[in-house]
């Protein structure tokens, strides 16, 4: 018998304590520290820091999803706008995220990576907003089925922040080309 994925579990008062988000905060802090270590030789170039942060963050989150694709897909299908309508998208999504992460880390066609990231984050943001409005109580599939973090405004903030960082990098890239 298959184990019930963590994102179907309901708990009272879930998501109200900072400790509920410890896995997410840990991943963000470690990713930020790694990006800082990588750019330490670049005199604090914040655009490069954002590049490495986004790359590391997306690769780590893709890995968490890939650990159990079926469980991730089941949770993602509950709220993602594209996954609800396009069969197989929820299975492809972790690999899209991985490709974006590797694109950031390799600086591969930056404007394409920025635009794709902005699009993915806008769609994700809308799906999270709709799920929160419905009061959907699931574990955030963004952490795969490995870590137990509730879908919440923290998830929403993460999606918005990632989209905003990609937008800032796109703007900086465009200004660099014009300047």
Q: For 87-111, what is each residue's pLDDT tens digit?
A: 899 999 999 999 999 999 999 999 9
**Most distant CA atoms of the chain, gap in Å:** 61
- The residue written with tokens 């520290």 in the block is 33
DSSP string across 59-116: HHHHHHHHTTHHHHHHHHTTT-HHHHHSTTHHHHHHHHHHHHHHHHHHT-SHHHHHHH
Give a yes or no: residue 120 inside a domain: yes
Structural element, H or E, at residue 53: helix 46-66
Listed range (22-26, 95-99, 125-129, 166-170) with the worst mean pLDDT: 22-26
Describe the crossing of helices 69-76 and 89-106 by its angle, rounded to 10 degrees. 100
User: What mean pLDDT is predicted for residues 16-28?
Assistant: 77
For residue 75, is pLDDT > 90?
A: no
What's the half-sphere exposure (Cβ side, CA atoms, 13 Å) at 133? 7
Bridge-partner residues for 139, per DSSP? Answer: 150
DSSP helix/strand/coil, 139: strand
Give a yes or no: residue 6 inside a domain: no
Give a yes or no: residue 3 inside a domain: no
- State which residues form the domain around 92: 19-178
Give a yes or no: residue 72 inside a domain: yes
| Domain total in the chain | 1
pLDDT band of 14, cuts 50, 70, 90: low
């Amino acid at each position: 018998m298959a184990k019930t994925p963590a994102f179907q579990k309901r708990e009272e008062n879930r998501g109200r304590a900072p400790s509920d988000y410890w896995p997410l905060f840990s991943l963000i802090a470690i990713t930020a520290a790694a990006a800082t270590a990588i750019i330490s030789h670049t005199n604090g170039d914040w655009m490069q820091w954002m590049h490495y942060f986004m790359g590391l963050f997306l690769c780590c989150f893709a890995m968490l999803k890939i650990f159990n694709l079926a469980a991730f897909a089941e949770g993602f299908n509950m709220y993602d706008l594209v996954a609800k309508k396009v069969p197989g998208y929820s299975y492809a999504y972790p690999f899209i995220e991985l490709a974006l992460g590797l694109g950031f880390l390799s600086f591969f066609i930056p404007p394409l990576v920025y635009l794709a990231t902005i699009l993915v984050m806008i769609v994700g943001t809308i799906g999270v907003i709709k799920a929160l409005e419905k009061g959907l109580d699931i574990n955030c599939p963004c952490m795969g089925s490995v870590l137990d973090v509730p879908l919440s405004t923290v998830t929403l903030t993460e999606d918005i922040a990632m989209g905003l960082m990609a937008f800032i990098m796109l703007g900086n890239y465009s200004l660099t080309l014009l300047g």
